[in-house]
Amino acid sequence: MKKHLLILSFLFLLACASKEKLDLSGIAEGQIYQMAKTEYENKNYMQAAQLYRVVVDEYPFSTIAAKAQIMEAHSYFLALRFVEAEVAIEEFLSLYPGNENTEWAYYLKALIYYDQILIVKLDQEFSEKAKLSIDEYLNRYPEGKYTTDLILKLDLVNEHLAGKEMLIGRYYQQKADLVAAISRYQDVYKNYSTTSHIQEALFRLVECYQTLGISSEAQKYAAVLGHNYPDSKWYKYSYSLLQGS
């Protein structure tokens, strides 16, 4: 009973001083871990993360330190504290590269960036980081537990990155910097050919090359567009553009 009251008192202190370093001296790492697990299961993720961190800091050589660290990262992730989650997961991967939870850690790392894509719609930094992290996982675990899920998520990441290239390409095209615009559209053509932006990218290449007077290149991309997307409005635009020249 006395031990139970002690644990409850520490949980109260945790709630009252979320930003202060916790002093849980006198409680074994296993008990602190169970306290963290209870908070995690009750969806009190910030409290859980802080308790898991106590285990990591105070008992770094214990048998549960590694599990505590990845659970800290996951708790921060669920609390939408992505910066803290990223720090914790990078530390875990640095300290425990061969741990039984390493695959999950690489998956979680990808999710940390992926889940921020829709939050920061105009900044594709997270799309780029998500792509790198997903590729890292897929290279390490081509037949892993999370491979199918990340392949599906990669489609959305590529949509965002292709959309960014198209946006920049249109900007350069409007500014009559056609060489710079072509570079962006070609990036979509070469690296994001499975996205919804590919048809417009091909048309814009036709448009830019035709404006530059390089008809052979314009016709080449129009042919690709016509072969792959004969019913596309973008092919019809390309055909009309070339016929009118």
Distance separating alpha carbons of residues 200 and 195, to the nearest angstrom: 11
The reported pLDDT for the residue numbered 167 is: 93
Distance separating alpha carbons of residues 21 and 220, to the nearest angstrom: 65
Q: Do 181 and 208 form a contact (C-beta atoms < 8 A)?
A: yes
What tens digit of pLDDT does each residue of 80-100 get? 999 999 999 999 999 999 999
Q: Which residues of 117-137 are buried (b: 16+ CB within 10 A; e: fewer)?
A: beeeeeebebbebbbebbeeb
The reported pLDDT for the residue numbered 27 is: 78
Q: What is the mean pLDDT of each run of 10 residues along the chain (245 residues)?
A: 46 47 70 95 96 94 95 97 96 95 97 84 78 97 96 93 94 97 97 95 97 96 95 93 81
The reported pLDDT for the residue numbered 6 is: 46
Count Cβ atoms below 10 Å from residue 229 Cβ, excluding itself: 16
Locate the domains of the chain by residue range: 1-79
Where does residue 143 rank: exposed (0-12), middle (13-18), buried (19+ CB within 10 A)? exposed
